Amino acid sequence: MTITSIRTRAVAVPVDKPTRMSNRELNVRHYLLVEVEADGYTGVGYTYAGTGAGLLAKLAADELLAPVYLGADENDVAGLWERAYQETLLEGRRGTVIRALSALDIALWDLRAKRAGLPLVSLLGGSTAPLPSYASGGYYQPDEGSWTEAVTREIAFNASQGFTDHKIKVGGLSVADDARRVAAAVEAAGEGGRVSLDANNAYRSVAEARTAIEAFERAAGGPLWWFEEPLSPEAFAGHAELSRTIRTPVATGEIHQTRWEFRPLIEAGIPVLQCDAGVTGGVTEWLRIANTAATFGLHMAPHWHHNLHAHLCGAIPNALVVEYFALEKGIYNFELLLTPESRLHYAANHVHIPDRPGLGIELDSVMLEKYEVTG
């Protein structure tokens, strides 16, 4: 059927309280929302647009990409992706432009699954069985008491929600101070619990990152679950070298876009790939990357967007885990834009894929009106 309408909205949702990671402050999150209509059906797509680029993402979607999709056949998903990607040649094939393309592609897949009357995971050939998940967080919030008290309290909260596996930030303090936080987190997680570390590109060299992870391993009494984004996303060789020379597995990929940026990570054998469908080019490109990674025996542990990634992980053979952010933490706050009944359910260290058609999400019109950003 023909795509007859595309609506885009930029929204800005404040975080609950002052928050930072290793290299930047966080006070608001911008999202791009896309609704694609065809023959009475509406598909919803979205992406994270950073802390201030919501309108930039909307402009890219409206002016550059939407004209490719309007009037086209909704079933020509791969062909539309290629034509839209070609349109980005002069404007830039990375950053906000590809995030906007991701949102459009996600909306198209949501529409097709709704038309078929199937959850997206089922349309993709997967199962709606619950998937392993972990509680993400561990940001630096100075009003939460001492750093060790804060991380201990957060992991206790995660456990109260049924999670045994956790992720915390590192790289925002001295190595010694972060090591104390790591020790506290591992102790709070207890026997059988796993803790991964997210550095958000904090370290300037392989040597610096190696020094840090060795200190964290000593504090933890052994290897951690994984060491995430220790270096700049452009440091392909650096991540590969680090992966060969430390005990804790390296994870990266949340900022990388399209199959071309994932090729060197896959060739280097990075064991945990954090490909984000809202960043890399949508469902179409995410599946290409996941299937290639499976050929090399590598795991997918996608970044954020648990409402979407639960479906995608349920449709591939090499999914490791789904990242889950509790809305109560007020940090990853996308689900504020959804009706409460369409938010993702979780229990016992697993997320539950909804059996509703498409992604199974419903936008809350009141919250959209409250947080929409206009030019």
pLDDT for position 144: 82
DSSP state of 201: T
Total count of domains within the chain: 2
Regarding beta strands 250-252 and 272-273, do their DSSP bridges make them parallel or antiparallel, or are they unpaired? parallel
Q: Is residue 96, in this structure, part of any structural domain at all?
A: yes
Instruction: Say whether both 21 and 86 belong to one domain.
Output: yes
Q: Report the C-alpha dihedral over residues 322, 284, 371, 365, rounded to 10 degrees.
A: -100
Is residue 166 domain-shared with residue 51, that is, in the same domain? no
Domain-embedded: residue 321: yes
My answer on whether 49 and 129 are in the same domain is no
Same domain, 46 and 126: no
Examine residue 357 and state whether it is found in any structural domain, yes or no: no
Does residue 304 lie within any of the structural domains?
Answer: yes
In the DSSP assignment, the letter for residue 314 is T
Q: Are residues 147 and 272 in the same domain?
A: yes
**Sequence-distant (≥ 6) Cβ neighbours of residue 62 within 8 angstroms:** 8
Residue/partner pairs of 335-344 with CB below 8 Å, 24 or more apart: 335/307, 336/13, 336/364, 336/367, 336/371, 337/11, 337/13, 337/31, 337/33, 337/363, 337/364, 337/367, 337/368, 337/371, 338/307, 338/362, 338/363, 338/364, 339/363, 339/364, 343/307, 344/306, 344/307, 344/310
Q: Is residue 99 part of a domain?
A: yes
What is the structure's pLDDT at 225? Answer: 98
Residue 375 has a pLDDT of 76
Looking at residue 143, what is its pLDDT? Answer: 83
Other CB atoms within 10 Å distance of the CB of residue 149: 12
Any idea what the CATH number is for the domain that residue 137 is in? Answer: 3.20.20.120
User: Are residues 141 and 273 both part of a single domain?
Assistant: yes
Domain-located, residue 358: no
pLDDT score recorded for residue 18: 80
pLDDT computed for residue 232 by the predictor: 97
Contact 263, 234 (CB under 8 A): no
Beta strands in the chain (DSSP E): 5-20, 25-38, 41-48, 131-136, 165-169, 194-198, 227-228, 250-252, 272-273, 299-300, 322-324, 345-347, 350-352, 372-373
Same domain, 31 and 107: yes
Other beta carbons less than 10 A from residue 189's beta carbon: 24
pTM: 0.97
Residues 265 and 200 in one domain: yes
Longest distance between any two alpha carbons in the chain, whole Å:
59
If asked whether residues 98 and 158 sit together in one domain, one would say: no
Residues 346 and 368 in one domain: no
What is the CB-side half-sphere exposure of residue 329 using CA atoms within 13 A? Answer: 23
Whichever domain contains 33, its CATH number is 3.30.390.10
Instruction: Give residue 17's region: left, alpha or beta (phi > 0; psi -120 to 50).
Output: beta
Which residues are registered as beta bridge partners of 246?
none
pLDDT computed for residue 203 by the predictor: 98
Q: Are residues 180 and 159 in the same domain?
A: yes
Residue 335: inside a domain, yes or no? Answer: yes
166 close to 139: Cβ distance less than 8 angstroms: no
- Give me the pLDDT at residue 209, please: 98
**How does strand 272-273 pair with strand 299-300?**
parallel
Structural domain for 58, as ranges: 5-117+364-373
- Predicted pLDDT of residue 17: 86
Task: Tell me: do 153 and 241 sit in the same domain.
Answer: yes
Whether residue 18 lies inside any domain: the answer is: yes
**What are the average pLDDT values for consecutive 10-residue runs of the chain, which has 375 residues?**
96 92 91 97 98 97 98 97 96 95 98 98 98 97 91 98 98 98 98 97 98 98 98 97 98 98 98 98 98 98 98 98 97 97 97 98 98 92
